[in-house]
Structure 1
Amino acid sequence: MIPKMMQSMTLPAKSVQASRRQFLLGALAAGGGLAVGFNIAAMAPALASETAAGDGQHSFSPYVVIDGDGKVTVLSSQFEMGQGSYNGLATLVAEELGADWATIDVVGAAGNVKVYGNIAFGGAIQGTGGSTSMVTSWERYRKAGAAARTMLVAAAAAEWGVNAAEITVENGVLSHPSGKSGHFGVFAAKAATLPVPAEVTLKQPAEWTLIGNEKLKRFDSARKANGTQQYTIDVKLPGLLTAVMIHPPLFGAKVKSFNAEEAKKVKGVVDVVETPRGVAVVGDTMWAAIKGRDAVTVEWDDTGAEKRSTTDLMAMYRDLAGKAPVATARNDGNVETGFASAAKVLEANFEFPYLAHAPMEPLNAVARMNEDGTLEVWGGLQFPDVQQQIASQIAGVAVDKVHLHVMKAGGSFGRRATFDGDIVAEAVHVAKAIGFRAPVKVQWTRENDMRAGRYRPAYVHSVKAGLDADGKLVAWENHVVGQSIMAKTAFEGSIQNGVDPTSVEGANNLPYAIPNQKVGLTTTEVGVPVLWWRSVGSTHTAFAAEVFLDEVAEAAGRDPVEFRLSMLEPDSRHAVVLKLVAEKAGWDKPLPEGRFRGVSVAESFGSVVAQVAEVTADGSGGIKVERIVAAVDCGLAVNPDQVRSQVEGGIGFGLGSILGEEITLTGGQVDQGNFDTYTPLRIDAMPTVEVHILASANAPSGIGEPGVPPTGPAVANAAYRALGKRIRVMPFAKALNA
């Protein structure tokens, strides 16, 4: 998704100051109930004026609402795309509130970055990514729940004429030893009239019943199982039209002209319009729009288009990897001296292809202009305030006239976190092109999703290591070659001295004690649109480092686990999870004949994950992954079951990316279009997975992404022992057939 570096990025002072005001809580009556959240009016008048005037933001937006029936609704600043952020926030609020888990609901919130801005990003933007949902929510949502509980208790105490300290709160009910009791809804309206506590006392871990509960099930599981959960693809509005897109076959090409005469003869086709990103065919139904699309002819201007094949690009990358890097990301000690003194020097190149995000729900968005001049947008809004701004610019309305409906999404993996509005911009452009006469849903097909760009960049690594006579690693050098994700985006300022941190994260912060280390970067100029992809830079840097490290350990005659531990502080997070995974996987015990093990460990997004993979040879020159054991340090696990699910899912995601997935281009055109040619992991290839969570009292860190990086290298290291062949080119299918 979004890179770890965004958790510590430099932002304007005013924006950072806004994040420090997140805990100034306020409350108001909400339809006979209570709403608790951030209240700009509670600040000093000058400060409130500065933040509220002229920016289209509301002065109050809640984190939690309790209605007259006792139902509790959490308004999530974090976008839900399957990773469980809604469930995590519900847990935080319900724990402190003392709510009945069965009455909890969560909806997406947007439209007030002063309230919902991601603290991990400095508070300047409301965004979900970088596995920061619990990082940004951990304190403020608990405080909102605790404040609501305190106010309900005060209301009940006043109603009953008793001491508030004598009232207990459990499962949505307030009780007093006298026998008096009542559910939240009874006191919500009264509580809304009381002062908001300036300070609240959070529960101690010993009092928790929901946070860390191994048996707590997701509040939304039933909806997903019975099909009632609504996604953007399910949105239905009166008069809704559906549009499908014809995108340029080459990246950078533009529409020169198009002929829609035959398309308009198709029953159900309403219009065919040009947009900045191609041609949209608008129909009463998606099927009509697709049939119409097939009848449109488009002439493209490909003057500025990218026309190189991936074969050409990778050849160029290999050539660049053999030269001196353009920029330096890390330079410890003196690698030249280290290599000169080494008794043995090893070198290897690693190649990584473009990868698609391929979420189960292809991109979509809905736009409707209302008679009162407000624009409504429905979609999987990973950066809602950015998408709100862009929608307002396209439609020509004020920002506060754009009302967002934050929908759950059937996956994203970073794909919906764009800074140009992407699918939302397309929906508003199409609606505008037809004069806003009807609401429009732009729905991409799988082929649109696969061929319209925004890929994990392709990379080549040239890695070199030096061992002394005692088998100690004394020099390490890695030259990374690939495209920049941050260039020409709102975060271009994060590129320092020619180094895009997303290209080298995971490479320039290796945890191992190597006295001489150098990481170089050469950034390429290629017209293929790229974007962060689940675990971003660590998707390739961890593979190159951990696979090559295994090769170095073999050259030193050392056990792979022992070799890594020898370069780690004994009590470091990396060492602890590595020892835990070795123990749980039985690293020191013999395997059945024909099974082989590999190990890896990687840190990403504030968490450390180690994995041991077991594989067998499949008899046709390939492997079958039989078992993966993972050990995880992600700080305190708010929802342990969800942590395991994310690591399991990350392992499946990571396996698909190394075994068979790749995006290739021929003459600049993407070759893959659907899951017959782009091959994510099939269910029969999913191994047995065990996840062991390290007990921790530290605040939660990331978990949506850190399970991905160690998977590939652990499997590759095991595959070497099974096949006797080092795998350095992704995907495995290509390397093993070479």
Structure 2
Amino acid sequence: MLKRRTFLLGGVGVAGALVIGWSALPPRQRLVTSEPMPVRPGEAALNGYVKIAADNTVTVVMCRTEMGQGVHTGLAMLIAEELDANWDDIRVANAPLDDIYNNIESVAGDLPFRPDNDGVVKEAVVWLTRKLARDFGTVMTGGSSSINDLWLPMREAGACARTMLIAAAAGRWDVRAADCRIEKGMVVHDAGHKAAFGQLAMAASRQPLPRKPVLKDPEKFQLIGKPITRIDAASKLNGSAVFGIDVVPDGLLYASIVMCPTHGGTVAHFDASAAAALAGVRKIFAVDAYNGGTGGVAVVAENMFIAMKAIDALTINWNDGPMKGLTVPDIDKRLTQALDESEGHAWYSHGDVDGALKRAAHTLKAEYRAPYLAHAALEPVNCTAQVKDGKATVWAATQVPAVARMHVARVLGIGTEQVDLQQQMPGGAFGRRLEVDFIAQAVAIAREAEGRPVQTLWTRQQDMRHDFYRPACVSRFHAGLDEQGRLIAWHNASVSQSIVAGWLARNYRIPDLGLNFDKTVSEGAFDQPYEMPNVWIGQRTIQLPMPVGFWRSVGHSHQAFFIESFIDELAALARKDPVVFRASMLTKHPRHLAVLQKVASMSGWRMPAVWTAKDVRHARGVALHEAFGSVVGQVAQVSLQKDGTVKVEHVYCAIDCGLPVNPNLIRQQVEGAIVFGLSAAFKEEITLKDGAVVQGLYSEYDVVRMDECPDITVEIMPSKSHPQGVGETAVPPVAPAVANALCALTGTRDYALPLKHKLYVGGATCAS
């Protein structure tokens, strides 16, 4: 008999050989679904992304959630470009759940490498990660990754469909395929033959899928790079667009819910007698906590008004969650103490920082803070579900449909094949719809409705107070300059909760082991381009009961404020212009330098840093940041009004996001991101009272209004490189650019967000 050790070693050896062999294979295709694509009568599927109907309409199958970022338009342009389709014939439809739609680049983008780390190790790990994500990842919208991830697959899908249509036409006309071409939705031949897509679709679908489709030369692009109007614009203007909250299946009931004020709590006892007496109330019951959420009491009624009124009539005793008694000062103290004890994992180090600090002519220390933030999307959390005959239909606005379906099945104890998850548009998300707590909860409520569909809608207060928040963070710096004012030492350590650990624990049941290894909370700190001879950048993660999640631009959102503010402090210590000081550390990064110089030129940076006009003092501040593959530079022009309020008059922004697929979409996203970032910079902060979130309405968690908006000027840098992220990239530089202008203006540095200045009401509306 084989000894157990020999057997195990042999097994490991075989497994290792299999893994090595598997990793050596080329990446699997991303064009054909594992199951046949569903089609309507008269419609043919040419691959997993393209369907063509007899009326010549081309349906682009969308595997990413349209959350207002315009991704359906951008992705449709990739198909239409390679297919040479008529843009007016393009339609979109949601994709089924299949591995070919897994978001590969979002996973690869979370690997712990700096953008300018181009070593063999990184190349090998990225290669292997992409292969794993193809089969073991998930369908997900986030990380500003949609165009980046689907740039090649969707172009290849369009090119394959073009080749198959031409082959079908050539076979019909008995001519060479090389002598045929497509012109705006028609296959034509010089002999006078002509056929529309709809006439050829069925025959084309029977053609073999080309193994290596020939992609267009970018010099011949007709759509890509053009400011095409959004494909969803008309429906949003005329009100026909359907969001999650708009779903109204036949026989619909409505549910409202109130959850324990302290996160993670449950129901101890409740008195529903007064609520049950209200006309139209169907059922009242306790609901468990799902996927990191909080327990509560739900009311199912004939309409939402009755359900909400009944909620107010309930008397509930709670089993408080683990946050009972917790306050923001408590959390801040624990963060500070944790950083005193350990600086955590070193994400990037180079040279001898301690030695450089000892010989530095000038040194500077600083400590920065950022608060918890809610997502506060305009459409409050909601989900509609029907549980009937051992199956479930779920209408959900989600960024992770496959994860949502898995947990619906888990709640009901059925197979995922018994769950029909119908993707809806969310009215804003910003990362909140990466969670599935509200979907699992809605299904558990619908299970009690005896087969009728139920829409569960949270009030604004419940939405704000039961979020998964952007983590609070503390960051410390210690830097040194030489006699010439050059930066020779940079030491930076920050501390916050881990986002990834919590997300994996509540959605994949992977235990949070408290490891100091979460790239998403350190991103924006260790991965910036500045050239420093001696550097150490680390991050510590700690466990706290406050639930945290992915928030628009994630770690970049606060790390950029810390770093770009401290860079300005060092420029002042060196008595150098902030733009010149940054440029001196970008000698090997021409792309970043070009963005910095562009935004400086746009803003007229050569003017004095502070000036007075009509008795009002003005100043400019600059920030440069790389996130999600894109480089963004911003200059904020700020004034101090006579009444002491601050007016952000103008924000100039230059962005290099690779090849600009649709300049309109880019400008829209950049403008929206700047306003979003200004809201976080000046107004937004989640606080706690006795462990419960205080903020509940927009009046308590305010956002920048139209009359507070600055003018916004956006310049998109020309590029032929692979397209990169846009939706989140312009958020991080806003706060530091404004803070740097305010410091120049007032002589006082802000070391914490939100900035302690009141915005002047009466600014201009956004204009590009």
1:205-216 matched pairs, under 5 angstroms = 205-213=218-226, 215-216=227-228
Q: After alignment, is 700-709 or 310-319 more displaced? A: 310-319
Q: Is the 8 A contact 1:330 1:517 kept in 2?
A: yes
Distance in structure 2 (CA, Å) of the matches to 1:273 and 1:170: 61
Give the structure 2 partner of residue 731 of structure 1: 754
1:332-481 matched pairs, under 5 angstroms = 332-371=350-389, 373-418=390-435, 421-435=436-450, 437-481=451-495
Give the structure 2 partner of residue 32 of structure 1: 42
Query: CA deviation digits over 1:308-361, x for unaligned, max 9?
Result: 111222233344445542443333222221211112111122111111111111
Structure 1 pair 496–515 and aligned structure 2 pair: CA distance change class (3 A): farther
- Ranges in structure 2 where 5+ consecutive residues have no aligned partner: 1-18, 108-132, 289-294, 761-768
Distance in structure 1 (CA, Å) of the matches to 2:283 and 2:83: 52
Specify the SS of the correspondent of 1:486: helix
Which AA in structure 2 matches 1:150? Answer: T
Q: Tell me by how many angstroms 1:15 deviates.
A: 11
1:637-676 matched pairs, under 5 angstroms = 637-676=660-699
Distance in structure 1 (CA, Å) of the matches to 2:38 and 2:688: 57
Distance in structure 2 (CA, Å) of the matches to 1:665 and 1:540: 20
Distance in structure 2 (CA, Å) of the matches to 1:93 and 1:106: 11
Q: Is the 8 A contact 2:32 2:100 kept in 1?
A: no
Q: Is the 8 A contact 2:383 2:395 kept in 1?
A: yes
1:260-275 matched pairs, under 5 angstroms = 260-275=272-287
1:676-687 matched pairs, under 5 angstroms = 676-687=699-710
Which AA in structure 1 matches 2:500? Answer: M
Q: Is the 8 A contact 1:212 1:639 kept in 2?
A: yes
Which AA in structure 2 matches 1:148? Answer: A
Query: CA deviation digits over 1:397-419, x for unaligned, max 9?
Result: 2111111111111111111112x
Specify the SS of the correspondent of 1:256: strand
**1:697 maps to 2:720:** yes
Q: Tell me by how many angstroms 1:471 deviates.
A: 0.8
Give the structure 2 partner of residue 233 of structure 1: 245
Distance in structure 1 (CA, Å) of the matches to 2:355 and 2:512: 32
Give the structure 1 partner of residue 4 of structure 2: none
Structure 1 pair 679–120 and aligned structure 2 pair: CA distance change class (3 A): closer
Distance in structure 2 (CA, Å) of the matches to 1:265 and 1:712: 51
Match of 2:27 among 2, 20, 43: 20
Q: Tell me by how many angstroms 1:608 deviates.
A: 0.8
Give the structure 1 partner of residue 333 of structure 2: 315
Match of 2:81 among 54, 74, 95: 95
Q: Is the 8 A contact 2:99 2:139 kept in 1?
A: yes
Q: Tell me by how many angstroms 1:159 deviates.
A: 2.5
Q: Is the 8 A contact 1:110 1:404 kept in 2?
A: no
Distance in structure 1 (CA, Å) of the matches to 2:600 and 2:353: 32
Distance in structure 2 (CA, Å) of the matches to 1:486 and 1:493: 11
Structure 1 pair 359–606 and aligned structure 2 pair: CA distance change class (3 A): same
Q: Tell me by how many angstroms 1:24 deviates.
A: 5.2
Query: CA deviation digits over 1:383-437, x for unaligned, max 9?
Result: 111111111111122111111111111111111112xx211101111112334x2
Q: Is the 8 A contact 1:273 1:434 kept in 2?
A: no
**1:137 maps to 2:150:** yes
Q: Is the 8 A contact 1:306 1:526 kept in 2?
A: no
Specify the SS of the correspondent of 1:511: coil
Query: CA deviation digits over 1:615-649, x for unaligned, max 9?
Result: 11123333111111111111111111111111111
1:143-182 matched pairs, under 5 angstroms = 143-182=156-195
Distance in structure 1 (CA, Å) of the matches to 2:320 and 2:106: 41
Which AA in structure 1 matches 2:396? Answer: G
Distance in structure 2 (CA, Å) of the matches to 1:694 and 1:556: 30
Distance in structure 2 (CA, Å) of the matches to 1:252 and 1:110: 34
Match of 1:706 among 715, 729, 734: 729
Q: Tell me by how many angstroms 1:651 deviates.
A: 0.6
Using structure 1 for the length normalisation, give the TM-score.
Answer: 0.90
Q: Is the 8 A contact 1:664 1:672 kept in 2?
A: yes
Give the structure 2 partner of residue 280 of structure 1: 298
Query: CA deviation digits over 1:421-454, x for unaligned, max 9?
Result: 211101111112334x211111112111100021
Structure 1 pair 314–268 and aligned structure 2 pair: CA distance change class (3 A): same
Give the structure 1 partner of residue 110 of structure 2: none
Structure 1 pair 66–360 and aligned structure 2 pair: CA distance change class (3 A): same
Using structure 2 for the length normalisation, give the TM-score.
Answer: 0.87
Give the structure 2 partner of residue 48 of structure 1: none
Specify the SS of the correspondent of 1:216: coil
Q: Is the 8 A contact 2:495 2:539 kept in 1?
A: yes
Distance in structure 2 (CA, Å) of the matches to 1:454 and 1:460: 19
Give the structure 2 partner of residue 76 of structure 1: 62
Q: After alignment, is 119-128 or 704-713 more displaced? A: 119-128
Give the structure 2 partner of residue 608 of structure 1: 631
Q: Tell me by how many angstroms 1:70 deviates.
A: 1.1
1:531-610 matched pairs, under 5 angstroms = 531-590=549-608, 593=613, 594-610=617-633
Give the structure 1 partner of residue 233 of structure 2: 221
Query: CA deviation digits over 1:132-172, x for unaligned, max 9?
Result: 10111101111111111111122222223333333332222
Give the structure 2 partner of residue 49 of structure 1: none
Which AA in structure 2 matches 1:157? Answer: A
Structure 1 pair 168–494 and aligned structure 2 pair: CA distance change class (3 A): farther
Specify the SS of the correspondent of 2:504: coil
Distance in structure 1 (CA, Å) of the matches to 2:539 and 2:188: 63
Distance in structure 2 (CA, Å) of the matches to 1:409 and 1:736: 30
Distance in structure 1 (CA, Å) of the matches to 2:713 and 2:259: 43
Structure 1 pair 330–618 and aligned structure 2 pair: CA distance change class (3 A): same
Structure 1 pair 494–510 and aligned structure 2 pair: CA distance change class (3 A): farther
Query: CA deviation digits over 1:271-300, x for unaligned, max 9?
Result: 112211311111111111100111111111
Q: Is the 8 A contact 1:453 1:528 kept in 2?
A: no
Give the structure 1 partner of residue 121 of structure 2: none
Distance in structure 2 (CA, Å) of the matches to 1:303 and 1:125: 31
Give the structure 2 partner of residue 624 of structure 1: 647
**1:517 maps to 2:535:** yes
Query: CA deviation digits over 1:574-613, x for unaligned, max 9?
Result: 2121111112222113566332111010011111101111
Structure 1 pair 495–222 and aligned structure 2 pair: CA distance change class (3 A): farther
Match of 1:254 among 266, 275, 285: 266
Q: Tell me by how many angstroms 1:108 deviates.
A: 2.2
Distance in structure 2 (CA, Å) of the matches to 1:357 and 1:522: 24
Q: After alignment, is 347-356 or 482-491 more displaced? A: 482-491
Distance in structure 2 (CA, Å) of the matches to 1:539 and 1:556: 27
Structure 1 pair 199–499 and aligned structure 2 pair: CA distance change class (3 A): closer
How many pairs does the alignment contain? Answer: 697
Which AA in structure 1 matches 2:168? Answer: A
Give the structure 1 partner of residue 118 of structure 2: none
Distance in structure 2 (CA, Å) of the matches to 1:423 and 1:300: 20
Distance in structure 2 (CA, Å) of the matches to 1:19 and 1:524: 40
Which AA in structure 2 matches 1:195? Answer: P
Instruction: Report the aligned-residue RMSD.
Output: 2.4
Distance in structure 2 (CA, Å) of the matches to 1:310 and 1:496: 21
Which AA in structure 1 matches 2:221? Answer: W
Distance in structure 2 (CA, Å) of the matches to 1:94 and 1:599: 39
Q: Is the 8 A contact 2:633 2:653 kept in 1?
A: yes
Distance in structure 2 (CA, Å) of the matches to 1:104 and 1:597: 45
